[in-house]
Amino acid sequence: MAANLDKYKAAGAEVLAICVDAPEKNRELSEKLKLNFPVLADQGHKVIDAYSILDSGGQISRAAVFILDKQSIVRWSYVADDYKIRPLDEVLLGELAKIK
């Protein structure tokens, strides 16, 4: 997503990540990966719990992508146990186009 952030913005999207890690760790990760979008801390995992994406061990969130409309209604979602597998940008941009 970071590599194509301009395409997401052109589609009217705001990209952000939410992690259970502390803000300092998120900042380090963001700098290491040169992310150009916010990485928010959800240490109490209230958001992660609300979307039911905490792993079975209760320690980390599963890999997930949610597309919400302007009324905060989830219009598309993807959740996986393997953090290495993510939907392609083309898929996400296609789903964003359906919301307009």
CB 67 within 8 A of CB 75: yes
Percent of the chain with pLDDT over 90: 80
pTM of the model: 0.87
Residue 59 has pLDDT above 90, yes or no: no
Work out how many domains the chain is built from and give that number: 1
The domain containing residue 10 runs over which residues?
2-99
Beta strands in 1-100 (DSSP E): 17-19, 39-41, 63-68, 74-80
Each residue's pLDDT tens digit, 31-57: 999 999 999 999 888 999 999 998 888
**In the 8-state DSSP scheme, what is residue 37?**
S
Backbone angles phi, psi at 99, to 5 degrees: -80, -30
What CATH number corresponds to the domain at position 74? 3.40.30.10
Distance in angstroms (rounded) separating the CA atoms of residues 39 and 17: 5
